[in-house]
């Protein structure tokens, strides 16, 4: 249960103000069909995070608990710093596409998640917990919870969010998580 809850909260926090959340806002404003967009987010996230989780579990098998805690801790501190850099999303000028909202979201989200901090967090969490199902379920639910308001409220939501504050809060939470894992490294040494 811990791996599910930590995965859920980590990704939900990481997603606040992330480029994929901005992508959800853009798709919601363009298509105005929230349910197919949310379904595309869930499917793309599930596929992307399954791959990331599989890689993380495989990597985790080769590392000792101390090394694993150090890697996850350093990754979380790196994500804390990365979170301070706001993401932007440039809208492409193609407006006349007849692609369905679901397919457009599925493809756009899968590609946008490659190398994203939530994908990297999934790799690190799967390596740390080696429970692929719990980690992927947690990260997928976290991604869905973070993007659902953006999908359903579209542009109205975007203009009212204090993104800078969200970045600082998310960064602080990542820093705390990172320090917790690093503290565990020192606990292993004692």
pLDDT at 21: 83
Whole-model pTM: value is 0.72
pLDDT (tens digit, 9 = 90+) per residue, 91-147? 444 343 445 889 989 998 898 888 788 888 899 999 988 799 999 999 999 999 999
pLDDT at 139: 97
SS (H, E, C) 109-165: HHHHHCCCHHHHHHHHHHHHHCCHHHHHHHHHHHHHHHHHHHHHHHHHHHHHCCHHH
pLDDT at 89: 47
How would you classify residue 32: left for phi > 0, otherwise alpha for psi between -120 and 50, otherwise beta? left
Helix (H, G, I), strand (E, B) or coil at 89: coil
What share of the chain has pLDDT > 70, as a percent? 85
- The structural domains of the chain, with segments of one domain joined by +, span 2-87+99-189
pLDDT at 108: 86
Q: What is the mean pLDDT of residues 45-50?
A: 96
Is pLDDT above 90 for 73? Answer: no
What share of the chain has pLDDT > 90, as a percent? 32
């Amino acid at each position: 249960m811990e791996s599910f809850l930590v995965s859920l909260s980590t990704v939900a926090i990481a997603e606040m103000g992330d480029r994929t959340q901005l992508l959800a806002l853009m798709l919601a404003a363009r298509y105005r069909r929230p349910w197919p967009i949310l379904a595309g987010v869930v499917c793309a996230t599930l596929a992307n995070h399954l791959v990331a989780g599989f890689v993380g579990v495989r990597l985790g098998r080769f590392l000792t608990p101390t090394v694993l805690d150090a890697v996850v801790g350093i990754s979380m501190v790196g994500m804390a710093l990365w979170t301070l850099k706001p993401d932007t999303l440039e809208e492409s000028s193609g407006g006349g596409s007849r692609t369905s909202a679901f397919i457009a979201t599925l493809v756009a989200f899968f590609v946008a998640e490659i190398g994203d901090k939530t994908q990297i967090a999934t790799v690190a969490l799967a390596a740390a917990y080696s429970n692929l199902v719990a980690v992927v379920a947690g990260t997928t639910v976290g991604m869905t919870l973070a993007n659902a308001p953006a999908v359903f409220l579209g542009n109205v939501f975007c203009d009212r969010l204090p993104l800078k504050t969200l970045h600082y809060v998310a960064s602080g939470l990542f820093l705390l998580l990172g320090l917790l894992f690093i503290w565990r490294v020192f606990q292993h040494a004692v």
